[in-house]
Chain A
């Protein structure tokens, strides 16, 4: 083997690393470009606000949008308080002992369970055992357990960003631990917790597997009227129209994909910009 001059080998390696980075970035840009280019033309007020017709091959996707929205809102309402409380426990109360280590391991684990296994669990527990049936609430409960580790992790980060000295100052004045958390820690961690929550909403809006057997159905003629109704959802609808229905007009598929993608990306951007904004305008 020829021994390369170190300078030259550095240059070569850097080029390779640069190309690898481009390979990591280009696919997502291609995906976004493809969807936007082919989907933009089918987005119209009618597409967003009318029911599907002719076996999904025409009309709009309103019920899927409403369905996704209701499941996600229910899920975040359930999971946010639990996750924030769990984060408070871990950050402010938990001692450094075996129990705490087990909790942390459980969180890591919960985060790693495949989404389809959550679907199975939700089907067994919520749909069948608790007899909630295939419904918004069953899907939301399933998603809320799935999202719990993410909420806990982001909330812990937000709580940690509040300086320890604030807590000490409050405690040194005789204010109790919970009151200190409630009136000093939480208000200052709130922006971080909320941006984390928005990111979570974005993420679960795109989840399909967990709601496959717990909430989503092929077609419903009406919009949901209660949390015990079955619904259509955007990701499941996209799956159906792109694989299950023959002779599907491509522009409807692309349009559905575009709506779903824009929903998720917009929320992610809002969260990221929110985070940057609050970091800049932090009071300390």
Chain B
């Protein structure tokens, strides 16, 4: 009886272990099914190269080029902010800050990750957006630029947490070796520690990028939601995520427009899959240091 119970429980445990694979496969095949049925009626090439997203006009056009441009622009802008701030704070927190405040600083940085993105979006709307409008004298502050700033700050905790782990896992012998040769602390940090921790830092940046690309609510509230190819970073843009979120409610279930949103979901899935895969490769590398 006892044996039999053990056996049942161990089977359940095994199934739960497999569930992650099952879910990933399920999500992917589901998106693929809906996406492929969309691409039967609208060519994939046209889907990613056409620059007009008019899903509701009489002759609908499902070109996601403007959405891709929106996502890329916002992501690039966010990276320009998040990468230097993130990596530098990780260095400061792990190597320079006095031991006593280290954990406090880290928790404060990570506090940002705990704030719901819709709250961040709202704060962005009432602070950054009017500020950007006035400073740059724009018709509206809802722009890729404002979005980049907010998303940049949202990506900082991801980058800090993972880079900090990477920096801290650099063996202390490396540092001692350099210091013994007469290098200053900073020279050691820059030339030895940073280099040794590089795979982990790259992984951190990749995961940060993944977070920015997938971010939905804040982006939707700040970037202005205009589906056209942007000419400058101060233009309003619309990302892939916010397109899905805003338009899903208005579509006819099972129609072209509905399916096109799943096709966008498929593209997003593939992008984040690749980004996370690369990050995982680098994280694996870091462990074999």
Contacts and interface: CB of A to CB of B under 8 A. Distances in A.
Interface in B237-253: 241, 244-245, 248-249, 253
A264 B92 CA distance: 28
Contacts of A222: none
A2 interface: no
A94 to B, nearest CB: 7
B138 interface: no
B21 A106 contact: yes
Contacts of B116: 205-208, 235, 260-261, 264
Contacts of B190: 13
A27 B85 CA distance: 12
Nearest to A125: B30
B88 A21 contact: yes
A112 B20 contact: no
Given A25-B105, A105-B280, A110-B23, A116 B119 contact: no
Contact of B23 (A6, A81, A106, A272): A106
A149 interface: yes
A25 B110 CA distance: 9
B37 interface: no
A115 B216 contact: yes
B119 A119 contact: no
Interface stretch (B59-67, B171-179, B180-188): B180-188
B214 A31 contact: no
Interface of A: 6-7, 9-10, 13-14, 16-18, 20-21, 23-25, 27-32, 34-35, 81-83, 85-86, 88-90, 93-94, 102-103, 105-121, 123-125, 128, 145, 148-149, 152, 176-179, 202-203, 205-209, 212-213, 235-236, 238-239, 242-243, 253, 257, 260-261, 264-265, 268, 272
A209 B245 contact: yes
A31 B88 contact: no
Interface stretch (B11-19, B42-50, B228-236): B11-19
Contacts of B80: none
Given A27-B153, A113-B272, A239-B220, 10 more contacts: A17-B91, A29-B108, A85-B16, A106-B20, A114-B272, A117-B244, A124-B30, A178-B9, A209-B216, A268-B114
B256 interface: no
Interface string B119-149: 1111101110000000000000000000000
B74 to A, nearest CB: 13
B70 interface: no
Contacts of A34: 123, 126-127
Contact of B253 (A30, A105, A128): A128
10 contacts: A6-B184, A17-B88, A25-B108, A82-B19, A83-B16, A93-B17, A112-B214, A114-B214, A145-B23, A209-B217
B241 A114 contact: yes
Interface residues of B, number: 85
A110 B24 CA distance: 6
What 8 A-B pairs are tightest by C-beta distance, nearest first?
A206-B116, A114-B214, A89-B17, A85-B16, A20-B88, A112-B276, A10-B186, A17-B92
B6 A17 contact: no
A209 B176 CA distance: 48
A120 B262 contact: yes
Contacts of A106: 20-21, 23-24
B34 interface: yes
A213 B280 contact: no
A25 B90 CA distance: 12
A152 B108 CA distance: 25
A238 B241 CA distance: 19
A70 B160 CA distance: 33
A148 B21 CA distance: 12
A90 B20 CA distance: 11
A254 B277 CA distance: 39
